Amino acid sequence: MTQTLLHILALLLVLIGTFVTAIRSSRPTLSILSNEPFSYAEYDNLLGPDFEVFNYTQTLDHFNFKPESYMTFQQRYIMNFKYWGGCNTSSPIFVYMGAEIDVTKLVFISGFFQILSSRFKGLMVYIEHRYYGTSMPFGSKEEAYKDANNLGFFSSEQALADYAQLITSLKQSLSAQNCPVIAVGGSYGGMLATWFRLKYPHIVYGALAASAPILYFEGLTPENGYAVVVSNDFNSTSESCYKTIRESWYEIDRVADQPNGLLNLSKMFNTCLPLNTTQELKDSLESRYNYIAQYNYNNSLHKFCNASDALGNETYVLSKVMAGYNAVFGQRCNMVINEGLSKDFGWDWQSCTEMVMPMGRGENDTMFQAKPFDIINFTKQCELVFGVTPRLYWAPIEFGGYDIKQVLSKFGSNIIFSNGLRDPYCSGGVLQNISDSIIAIYTQEGHHCWDLHTPTASDPDWLVAQRTTEIKVVEEWLAAYI
Amino acid sequence: MTQTLLHILALLLVLIGTFVTAIRSSRPTLSILSNEPFSYAEYDNLLGPDFEVFNYTQTLDHFNFKPESYMTFQQRYIMNFKYWGGCNTSSPIFVYMGAEIDVTKLVFISGFFQILSSRFKGLMVYIEHRYYGTSMPFGSKEEAYKDANNLGFFSSEQALADYAQLITSLKQSLSAQNCPVIAVGGSYGGMLATWFRLKYPHIVYGALAASAPILYFEGLTPENGYAVVVSNDFNSTSESCYKTIRESWYEIDRVADQPNGLLNLSKMFNTCLPLNTTQELKDSLESRYNYIAQYNYNNSLHKFCNASDALGNETYVLSKVMAGYNAVFGQRCNMVINEGLSKDFGWDWQSCTEMVMPMGRGENDTMFQAKPFDIINFTKQCELVFGVTPRLYWAPIEFGGYDIKQVLSKFGSNIIFSNGLRDPYCSGGVLQNISDSIIAIYTQEGHHCWDLHTPTASDPDWLVAQRTTEIKVVEEWLAAYI
């Protein structure tokens, strides 16, 4: 365990050191961690000796029976038997739901999963989501991402069915049919954990869904939910800091309208390349604010606002913004965000198909300027980049969400929705108890997926308490398992 | 209503008059009624004025996002607003789950659905299952059934998603978002109703699943379950009749081994064409016994056994069989069954893909000769006829069934599993209460889907009582609907 913790600490340092490059779009990143371009090999090498990597021969298409549906691909999963009580003791199997990321990363970032497993003598299984990491249909990422025909099998329903098939096969080979399975996941992985419990209750006995915005779909959550929480995070950290940011957009517009405006802004914001539009700058800044509010790594909210506020009320508003910015991201030049969709970015495909999360805001409801969600333009981009049209209304039909309390109060059980109210994604999360065993555990201070992260000695009491409650609830579930 | 009843009576007469041709395979027909080759137009003309036929533009593939997944087809559904309380009263919407049959047939055969709807001021919606009736992708049955590429989208998961999408759209267009939906289905349609409640609880509030063998899958139910009930049906009707049938197989073998044996058997059994093998004859007879036991139309079990027994113990065993046979099926020549799979028969495709129900029996456990389920041979046939390989293990992974009581006792609600214990398919049904609201309502005397059939004045008390209980349970569900 010590060795593993060291690995994780090493990784966290790497993460923190590189997270400036991590942000590739002003659209918020739905991930337990942001999508920084790490080398996968780096992670593989860091996996401790208790982690074993396997491949499962997975069916390409579970729901159709065309000849191509029978094709297979190698789905990666990682197991750790260190704590497992074995197949004869009904020790649980904890399954970490791979999400939009290389599965080996999840091993490092989600140390709480190891705590849970050790607490209950559980087997640890991390399953990679299709089309991420090495779990590529058609042999390689290049082929898998080639076009909409090959990407076409990349859906959450197929991923859930992958998990169902792999777990069933695994239990059989381990003679562990009677072991309860508990699914754990964060962010999109938490959505998958929820849906897995709801759609495959015969395979998974309970789910811990951390920071899972299962309600962030059309018609379920106000589109400004995310931006409102980002704004509140800054406002509650420092009202003057919040005001600085809110004013800065208009000052950017004003400067841009002057001679050499863009050039001056480029200098002012130390952009690596000259700005082409003010929107580039605005998107970049927004993306950084989102990042700070969502993850709050290293207390970056306070870092930003302290540095900004320290300059005093009389200082030029854009200087205050840059002071905050530099305090968090350092003095390196500012890489301007590419707002567009990327053909190589799996989550963009998912956003363009069924995981369409409408995000925008109106006038004066946030610290940002108005920018309503524009499905028409988004659709155009998706068609251009992927040749695919978003199914805006599909996810709530397939996975539910409308009137969730009424629907699930008499249906379903054993789901924990954990959230931190400072996580902008909590706006699409479940924040109320739905029944005795579908419960919400949230903290006022928490950010995105903090409960799943590797516990450290400096964790605040409320975070320790949140994890303790989660363990207690899982304990109750397992005690009731026949 | 009177007019509708007259229609139904007219239909039943047609049904009964033609059911000899209805049986096309010795494999038991999983259907609320058997698959007789009616003219669909015949049914359309018989639909009363309260039934309105519509088409919905349905998505071809709900779970993938390939370019072809976005194709659409016209899915037929029928509505009847006669009893509906309207969108402002939260009157329920009763949805009849189309199954492996033209949906218009279901309107006639399932009169209890109309009773239910009238009782609760419900809107009636009958939705046709894709690849049946007129709900053909690719424009026509000929195209839809052309090859495995076009048939490939023909799956239960896609059908359930069709229902989810159509119902959501319908509720929206009727401003009926707050109306509870109750799904009703018989046989395969009952399986769909169950799975629909389990997978889409946010769309359907409760399910009445009549004679639904949701457990008749690999590893869940002994493969001889069906044949054992058929045997018991004959045995409990008349032990001597049962013995006659049991002995007849060996006598057929004995006669066949003699000179001109097959010719003599052809004459004896009045086959329309000369027999090629004894297996043809055995399959045909078995198919008739299955049919009699499953449906018991017009009390055919007693008719068969009375006529057979009337000849006395001294009569030649095959003469006794023929006496029973003629009493039920008339004196017309005996069409020998084609045992093979048919490329035009939708259920054969479904059996060859995911609805693989292992049926067979050993030595001496039934009134039939031994015939274990032979997955290898079955697979060969499926590959030959459809170019598709059965996924024997998939349905229990996707839909559950293993340890159902434990799994659903703490998960799910509002399902009625109704069965008649004389229905051979009850062997794969749920015959125990699973929780307060997932309950089994069965009768000792009932056959396949009798509770769903149109009530008549001559229905026995236990059948009336079964339906009354079902209505009462639905009433309780609706009373609890907020």
Tens-place pLDDT, residues A76-102: 999 999 999 998 777 999 999 999 999
From the number of C-beta atoms within 10 Å of its C-beta (0-12, 13-18, 19+), residue A222 rates as middle
CA distance A18 to chain B (A): 34
Q: Does A360 touch chain B (CB under 8 A)?
A: no
Put simply, the chain B residues between 394 and 413 with a CB less than 8 A from any chain A CB are 394, 396-398, 400-404, 406-408, 410-413
CB-CB under 8 Å, A152 with B480: no
Cβ contacts of B354 on chain A, cutoff 8 Å? 65
To test the contact with chain A by mutation, choose from B151, B202, B408, B437 the residue with the greatest count of A C-beta atoms within 10 A, namely: B202
List b or e across A54-91, with b for residues whose CB sees 16 or more CB atoms inside 10 angstroms.
eebebbbbbbbbbeebbeebebbbbbbebbbeebeeeb
CB-CB under 8 Å, B202 with A404: yes
Q: Which of B360, B347, B354 lies closest to B392, judged by CA? A: B354
Per-residue model confidence (pLDDT) at position A46: 58
Average model confidence (pLDDT) for chain A? 91
Asked if residue B42 has pLDDT above 80, the reply is: no
CB-CB under 8 Å, A70 with B389: yes
Q: Which residue of B has its CA nearest to A153?
A: B64
Residue length, chain A? Answer: 482
Cβ contacts of A479 on chain B, cutoff 8 Å? none
Average pLDDT over residues A347-366: 97
By the 8 A CB rule, do B189 and B214 touch? no
CA distance A274 to chain B (A): 38
CB-CB under 8 Å, A65 with B354: yes
CB-CB under 8 Å, B407 with A412: no
Asked if residue B356 has pLDDT above 70, the reply is: yes
Cβ contacts of A385 on chain B, cutoff 8 Å? none
CB-CB under 8 Å, A388 with B65: yes
CB-CB under 8 Å, B202 with A401: yes
Helix (H, G, I), strand (E, B) or coil at B95: strand
Q: Indicate which residues of B carry an active-site annotation.
A: 187, 423, 448
C-alpha A184/C-alpha A206 separation (Å) is 9
β-pairing verdict for A93-97 and A123-127: parallel
pLDDT in tens, B288-339: 999 999 999 999 999 999 999 999 999 999 999 999 999 999 888 888 877 6
Q: Which residue of A has its CA nearest to B62?
A: A394
Helices (H), A156-224: 156-173, 188-199
CB-CB under 8 Å, A154 with B354: no
Model confidence band, residue A336 (pLDDT cutoffs 50, 70, 90): confident
Instruction: Kindly tell me the sign of the dihedral angle through the C-alpha atoms of A347, A95, A62, B168.
Output: negative
Which two three-digit tokens encode residue A215? 């309600």
Most confident of A182-196, A331-345, B47-61: A182-196
CA distance B407 to chain A (A): 6
Cβ contacts of B202 on chain A, cutoff 8 Å? 396, 400-404, 407
A202: annotated active-site residue: no
Closest CB from B63, B70, B393 relative to A157: B63
Percent of chain A with pLDDT over 90: 84
Model confidence band, residue B470 (pLDDT cutoffs 50, 70, 90): very high
Per-residue model confidence (pLDDT) at position A26: 55
Q: Does B476 touch chain A (CB under 8 A)?
A: no
Asked if residue B49 has pLDDT above 60, the reply is: yes
Q: Exactly one of A31, A34, A187, A300 is catalytic; which is it?
A: A187
C-alpha B302/C-alpha B394 separation (Å) is 39
Cβ contacts of B199 on chain A, cutoff 8 Å? 199
C-alpha B116/C-alpha A305 separation (Å) is 64
The amino acid at B139: G
Q: Does A119 touch chain B (CB under 8 A)?
A: no
Q: Does B437 touch chain A (CB under 8 A)?
A: yes
CA distance B444 to chain A (A): 30
Going from the C-alpha of A388 to that of each of A26, A147, A358, the distances in angstroms are 21, 10, 17
Which residues have C-beta within 8 Å of that of residue A411, sequence separation ≥ 6? B201, B411, B412, B413, B414
Residue B28 DSSP label:
P
The amino acid at A334: N
To test the contact with chain A by mutation, choose from B57, B58, B60, B66 the residue with the greatest count of A C-beta atoms within 10 A, namely: B66
Model confidence band, residue B34 (pLDDT cutoffs 50, 70, 90): very low
C-alpha A98/C-alpha A41 separation (Å) is 18
Asked if residue A61 has pLDDT above 80, the reply is: yes
Asked if residue A415 has pLDDT above 60, the reply is: yes
CB-CB under 8 Å, A202 with B403: yes
To test the contact with chain B by mutation, choose from A58, A62, A64 the residue with the greatest count of B C-beta atoms within 10 A, namely: A64
Cβ contacts of B148 on chain A, cutoff 8 Å? 65-67
CB-CB under 8 Å, A70 with B400: no
The amino acid at A195: W
Instruction: Kindly tell me the sign of the dihedral angle through the C-alpha atoms of A149, A154, A157, A160.
Output: positive
Average model confidence (pLDDT) for chain B? 91
β-pairing verdict for A181-186 and A206-210: parallel
Q: Which residue of A has its CA nearest to B204?
A: A407
Structural element, H or E, at residue A116: helix A111-119
C-alpha B439/C-alpha B462 separation (Å) is 18
Cβ contacts of A412 on chain B, cutoff 8 Å? 201, 411-412
Model confidence band, residue B116 (pLDDT cutoffs 50, 70, 90): very high
Cβ contacts of A157 on chain B, cutoff 8 Å? 62-63
Residue length, chain B? Answer: 482
CA distance B285 to chain A (A): 33
CA distance A87 to chain B (A): 17
CA distance A215 to chain B (A): 13
Out of A7-21, A269-283, A379-393, least confident range: A7-21
Per-residue model confidence (pLDDT) at position A5: 43
Cβ contacts of B403 on chain A, cutoff 8 Å? 202
Q: Exactly one of A283, A448, A451, A453 is catalytic; which is it?
A: A448
ipTM of the complex model = 0.92
Per-residue model confidence (pLDDT) at position A90: 79
pLDDT in tens, A131-155: 999 999 999 999 999 999 999 999 9
Per-residue model confidence (pLDDT) at position B11: 42
Q: Exactly one of A423, A447, A451, A453 is catalytic; which is it?
A: A423
Going from the C-alpha of A390 to that of each of A160, A171, A190, A222, A348, the distances in angstroms are 20, 36, 22, 19, 11
CB-CB under 8 Å, A62 with B394: yes
Per-residue model confidence (pLDDT) at position B50: 92
Average pLDDT over residues B213-233: 97
Put simply, the chain B residues between 40 and 69 with a CB less than 8 A from any chain A CB are 61-67, 69
Asked if residue A188 has pLDDT above 90, the reply is: yes
Model confidence band, residue B39 (pLDDT cutoffs 50, 70, 90): very low
Put simply, the chain A residues between 276 and 305 with a CB less than 8 A from any chain B CB are none
